[in-house]
Amino acid sequence: MKILVVTIGSLGDLHPFIAIGQALQASGAAVTLAVPLDHVAKVQAAGLAASPILPSFSDICARLGLTEAEAAARVIADADFVLDQARRIISPIGQPEGRRSPPA
């Protein structure tokens, strides 16, 4: 059985998913965690396959013109902030070349 586990959160979100992935792998499943680029090495060090689905947190901050502290404050203040930013990064991928939206 192949299982894909997806998380775009902080290390506090990642660690439980690593534990779940390890348990699934121990039961015979082929597990891949899809995570932000910053977390790929941590997932691989835990013995699981990893695939990056977003740039690193520092790259996202640079793109938004925010410090890491400012970005963290936005995440805390706006529950949809992370998902909105992920949509802006991911949504152009499936669109035909002429219909891609410019980065925000």
Q: What is the pLDDT of residue 96?
A: 46
Q: What is the mean pLDDT of the chain?
A: 82
Task: Decide: pTM greater than 0.75.
Answer: no
Residues 80-86, mean pLDDT to the nearest whole number: 72
pLDDT digits (tens, 9 = 90+) for 39-59: 999 999 999 999 988 788 788
Residues 26-48, mean pLDDT to the nearest whole number: 94
Going across the sheet that includes 49-54, the strands are: 2-6, 30-36, 49-54
Supply the DSSP string of 34-88, one letter for each residue.
EEEGGGHHHHHHTT-EEEEEE--HHHHHHHHT--HHHHHHHHHH-TTHHHHHHHH
Instruction: Give dist(CA 58, CA 12) in Å, integer.
Output: 18
Q: What is the pLDDT of residue 54?
A: 79
Per the CB < 8 A criterion, the answer to whether 32 and 18 are in contact is: no
